[in-house]
Amino acid sequence: MSSEQLPQKNTLEPRKEEKILNDFRKEIADLKEKAKKEKITGSTELPGINPDYLTIQDAEIWNRYESNSIALIDVGLESEYNKNIKLEKNKSIYNSRHNFIAFLRQRLTFSQLKNQYIDAIDIVSFHKGIGYIIDRINNGEIKDTMQDLAHIKNLDSITKEDAYMWHKIKKLKSISGENEEELNTYIKNVEDSKDLSRINFARVINQKYSSLILQEQTEQRKNFLKKKPTKKQKDNI
């Protein structure tokens, strides 16, 4: 299938198609619920999507997105998929599908920018930097949450994706649902690799993020305690 080719209608067995569509709609519904509690990539478009109005073509495009076999051009204004959505006569269905493709564009744009950043990483210099930190840990100069780095046996196993997450978590000033979503995806990918060096590296990144959460919660509590209770609040005590 070329990148511009639309998934063909009715190419699946009816029962299989129904299951794919139901699973897809549930996944989008779950994302909508998640977006109510925290910010995720593309969350601004999710409220305008009614999962029940999404079609098997939307499901197949989504599956291609999740398998990394789709590009921005596939959901662009001139794509066959977008042209197909524009043909929809039912306003409610059109609005949901229109918001869905906008949601996909946001996520793909983020992925594209991330990939550009990853491609530009000098992995050799990064390996040297991590090696220096490991030497300091082994010499007893560092005794904090980076101890798991000392268990890395093969620095060459550490990838550009690992380096990207290291730099990202290091620069974070506050937590968000988008960051947590990206971190969880990264950790799952590392676990699936079954590479012990990468797993130990990911543990350090996760510990750094957990420390940031704790720090933010502590700061929020301090700010809460600083607030003086109103007269009404005092009367209710």
Smallest CA-to-CA distance from 120 within 164, 157, 185 is with 164
Predicted TM-score of the model (pTM) = 0.63
pLDDT tens readout for residues 128-162: 999 999 999 999 888 776 788 989 999 999 999 99
- The full set of domain ranges for the chain reads 14-119, 123-226
Question: Would you state the torsion angle of the CA atoms of residues 166, 108, 68, 183, taken in this order, to the nearest 10 degrees?
Answer: 30
Backbone dihedral region for residue 55 (phi beyond 0: left; psi -120 to 50: alpha; all else: beta): beta
Which position has the higher pLDDT, 218 or 60? 60
**193 vs 154: CA distance, rounded Å:** 14
> What percent of the chain shows pLDDT beyond 90?
53
Cα distance between residue 108 and residue 41, in whole Å: 10
Please determine, for residue 195, whether its predicted confidence score (pLDDT) is greater than 80: yes
Tokens of 120: 């530009």
Q: Read off the pLDDT band of 2 (50, 70, 90).
A: very low
- Give the residue carrying structure tokens 């969350």: 43
pLDDT at residue 1, as a whole number: 43
Encoded amino acid at 186, one letter: Y
Query: Per residue in 40-86, pLDDT tens?
Result: 766 788 999 999 999 999 999 999 998 888 888 999 999 999 999 99
